[in-house]
């Protein structure tokens, strides 16, 4: 996401990425690495924090003006739900795509499914033989400073911020 904002010319993103690369004395290709993923997560936090107040102010102003496309309070309370209902939530979480599906019948959860980012990141090769994100990241020639303690492998996997259950 940070790279996309950077390429699209988002001013704050370009400023933060360029400053980070300069401080690390690293070339742009470093963004496609363990270091790049770790730095991007930090930079994205700064970018989001910078925009949050404006987004909240816009949401409140829209609701006050009657624009409820992003907030419809009519089904807020579970007691107002039909006896059978379903929902889906999809977002881009810090570690990747996250989606939840739920079916509720008679006030109880009948079915629930979540596909978490680690499912995608730690996934196996696809039908075309393309490696999953973890495997692809480990394919480049990591220099093992101590082959008996291959911390580079651990750092690479940790740069994807796997969920605790994973």
Domain range for residue 30?
A: 1-71
Examine residue 43 and state whether it is found in any structural domain, yes or no.
yes
Q: What is the pLDDT of residues 6-36, one digit of tens each?
A: 999 999 999 999 999 999 999 988 988 888 9
Examine residue 41 and state whether it is found in any structural domain, yes or no.
yes
Q: What's the predicted TM-score (pTM) here?
A: 0.69
Examine residue 141 and state whether it is found in any structural domain, yes or no.
no
pLDDT score for 73: 80
Q: How many domains does the chain have?
A: 1
pLDDT score for 166: 58
Examine residue 83 and state whether it is found in any structural domain, yes or no.
no
Count of residues in the chain? 166
Examine residue 28 and state whether it is found in any structural domain, yes or no.
yes
């Amino acid at each position: 996401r940070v790279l996309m904002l950077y390429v699209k010319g988002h001013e704050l993103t370009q400023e933060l990425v360029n400053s980070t690369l300069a401080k690390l004395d690293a070339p742009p290709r470093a963004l496609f690495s363990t270091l790049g993923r770790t730095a991007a997560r930090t930079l994205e936090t700064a970018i989001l924090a910078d925009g949050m107040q404006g987004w909240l102010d816009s949401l409140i102003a829209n609701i006050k003006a009657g624009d409820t496309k992003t907030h419809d309070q009519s089904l807020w309370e579970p007691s107002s739900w039909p006896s059978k209902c379903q929902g889906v939530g999809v977002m881009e979480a810090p570690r990747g795509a996250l989606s939840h599906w739920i079916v509720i019948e008679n006030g109880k959860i009948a079915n629930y499914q979540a596909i978490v980012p680690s499912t995608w990141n730690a996934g196996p090769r696809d039908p075309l033989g393309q490696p999953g994100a973890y495997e692809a990241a480990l394919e480049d020639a990591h220099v093992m400073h101590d082959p008996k303690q291959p911390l580079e492998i651990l750092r690479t996997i940790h740069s994807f911020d796997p969920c605790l259950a994973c």
